[in-house]
């Protein structure tokens, strides 16, 4: 299983003979004219998130990733294309600076995440996320970062200037448990070590246990929260697995069949169908993180009990960073 059919393609091409081996390809997109994306999120301030993504696609290969469908908008597939055809926006810092000149006064926060992990391995050489963080510091924009990568610790100096909050996505307690669903991510223990480094630097740090996969990962919740607390985390959230398109569902299920036993696959599929009214996909945004069964109620109570016991807050809001150099903000009409 490589890529499900792209629903935006009218025609398809087939290889004659064996297809070429999968390899990493990097596409530099220099025509980027917009860096800040406004996305609805009912549980965020004002009901909206403002996100920045310097890359598209992700080598972490998480089979459940909702951002896979965005790769189809670029003409690629939601399967292995998402993991191997990475789009880089080398002009991201310059574009972000120009946008903030026009929109800073209406920008309550900026989150580095959404369409991809801001700390892909490529970030080590491109440094686009770091440069964009510096731009946010220049404008005094509150910043949050969600990542699976210890590379975020490289930017502790800028994050301290921003007084940013950082959240590590760690849905599984062990590498063995995570392998079937996020095969190329840093091991959970490495993420916990990075979490501790961020906390020791005086920054607010949290854990996102997302997704929780019914019938598979619920037992990890107490120990994940305990491990995060010991690493200095102060806030935590969880969400149920949500499959946002037919392509993602097809790829997710195919990879389970490749990497898990038939019994384990059946257990997960049946559990998800019970939560989704007989199907794997949710029917609405509201339903995305809500379950229908008593089993999910038990999971929610398990989470609530341990999160309260350990003193976690659900969401962190970064304070206004200190502004040393603010670029001029000419009076122009808002982009939003």
Q: What's the CA angle centered on 311, arms 49 and 118, to 5 degrees?
A: 35
Q: Helix/strand/coil (H, E, C) string of the chain?
A: CCCCCCCCCCCCCCCCCCCCCCCCEEEECCCCCCCEEEEECCCCHHHEEEEECCEECCCCCCCCCCCHHHHHHCCCCCCHHHHHEEEECCCHHHHHHHHHHHHHHHCCCEEECCCCCCCCCCHHHHCHHHHHHHHHHHHCCCEEEEECCHHHHHHHHHHHHHCCEEEEECCCCCHHHHCCCCCCCCCHHHHHHHHHHHHHCCCEEEEEEEEECCCCCHHHHHHHHHHHHHCCCCEEEEEECCCCCHHHHHHHHHHHHHHCCHHHHHHHHHHHHHHCCCCCCCCCCHHHHCCCCHHHHHHHHHHHHHHHHCCCECCCCCCCCCCCCCCCCCCCCCCC
Nearest by Cα to 191 from 241, 133, 247, 233: 233
pLDDT attached to residue 47: 63
pLDDT, tens digit (0-9, with 9 covering 90-100), for 234-267:
999 999 999 999 999 999 999 999 999 999 999 9
pTM for the structure as a whole = 0.87
334 band by pLDDT with thresholds 50, 70 and 90: very low
pLDDT attached to residue 108: 87
Weakest-pLDDT range from 45-49, 195-199, 269-273, 308-312: 45-49
pLDDT attached to residue 174: 96
pLDDT, tens digit (0-9, with 9 covering 90-100), for 119-134:
999 999 999 999 999 9
pLDDT attached to residue 43: 57
Q: What is the percentage of the chain residues whose pLDDT exceeds 90?
A: 75
pLDDT, tens digit (0-9, with 9 covering 90-100), for 59-89:
999 999 999 999 999 999 999 999 999 999 9
Q: Which carries the bigger pLDDT value, residue 292 or residue 3? A: 292
| Average pLDDT of the chain, as a whole number | 88
Q: Which carries the bigger pLDDT value, residue 9 or residue 90? A: 90
283 band by pLDDT with thresholds 50, 70 and 90: confident
Q: Which carries the bigger pLDDT value, residue 12 or residue 199? A: 199
Before 211, cis peptide (omega within 30)?
A: yes
> Residues for the chain: how many in total?
336
- pLDDT over 80 at 1, yes or no: no
Gap between the Cα atoms of 216 and 209, Å rounded: 13
pLDDT attached to residue 192: 98
pLDDT attached to residue 104: 87
pLDDT, tens digit (0-9, with 9 covering 90-100), for 136-189:
999 999 999 999 999 999 999 999 999 999 999 999 999 999 999 999 999 999
Q: Which two tokens stand for residue 332?
A: 């122009």
Longest dimension (CA), the chain: 62
Gap between the Cα atoms of 204 and 168, Å rounded: 11
Nearest by Cα to 168 from 232, 122, 123, 261: 232
Q: Which carries the bigger pLDDT value, residue 277 or residue 336? A: 277
Nearest by Cα to 146 from 26, 318, 324, 330: 318
pLDDT attached to residue 13: 39
pLDDT, tens digit (0-9, with 9 covering 90-100), for 148-158:
999 999 999 99
CA distances from 5 to 69, 245, 262 (A): 11, 12, 24
pLDDT, tens digit (0-9, with 9 covering 90-100), for 315-330:
665 555 555 444 443 3
């Amino acid at each position: 299983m490589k890529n499900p059919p792209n629903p935006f393609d009218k025609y398809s091409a087939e290889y004659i003979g064996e297809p070429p081996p999968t390899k990493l390809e990097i596409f530099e997109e220099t025509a980027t004219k917009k860096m800040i994306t406004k996305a609805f999120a009912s549980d965020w301030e004002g009901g909206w998130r403002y996100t920045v993504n310097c890359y598209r696609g992700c080598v972490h290969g998480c089979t459940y990733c909702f951002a896979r469908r965005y790769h189809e908008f670029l003409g690629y597939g939601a399967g292995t294309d998402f993991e191997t055809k990475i789009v880089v926006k080398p002009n991201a810092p310059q574009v972000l600076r120009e946008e903030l000149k026009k929109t800073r006064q209406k920008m309550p926060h900026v989150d580095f995440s959404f369409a991809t992990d801001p700390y892909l391995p490529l970030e080590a050489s491109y440094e686009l996320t770091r440069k964009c963080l510096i731009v946010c510091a220049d404008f005094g924009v509150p910043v949050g970062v969600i990542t699976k990568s210890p590379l975020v610790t490289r930017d502790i100096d800028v994050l301290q200037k921003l007084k940013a909050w950082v959240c590590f996505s760690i849905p599984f307690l062990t590498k063995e448990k995570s392998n079937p669903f996020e095969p190329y991510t840093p091991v959970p223990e490495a993420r916990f070590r990075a979490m501790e480094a961020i906390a020791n630097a005086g920054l607010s740090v949290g854990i996102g246990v997302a997704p929780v996969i019914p019938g598979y990962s619920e037992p990890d919740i107490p120990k994940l929260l305990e491990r995060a607390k010991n690493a200095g985390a102060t806030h935590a959230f969880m969400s149920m697995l949500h499959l946002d398109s037919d392509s993602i569902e097809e790829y997710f299920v195919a990879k389970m069949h490749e990497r898990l036993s038939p019994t384990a696959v059946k257990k997960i599929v049946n559990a998800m169908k019970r939560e989704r009214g007989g199907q794997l996909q949710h029917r609405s945004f509201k339903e995305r993180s809500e379950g229908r069964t008593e089993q999910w109620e038990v999971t929610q109570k398990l989470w609530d009990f341990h999160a309260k016991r350990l003193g976690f807050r659900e969401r962190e809001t970064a304070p206004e960073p200190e502004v040393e150099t603010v670029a001029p903000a000419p009076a122009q009409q808002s982009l939003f």
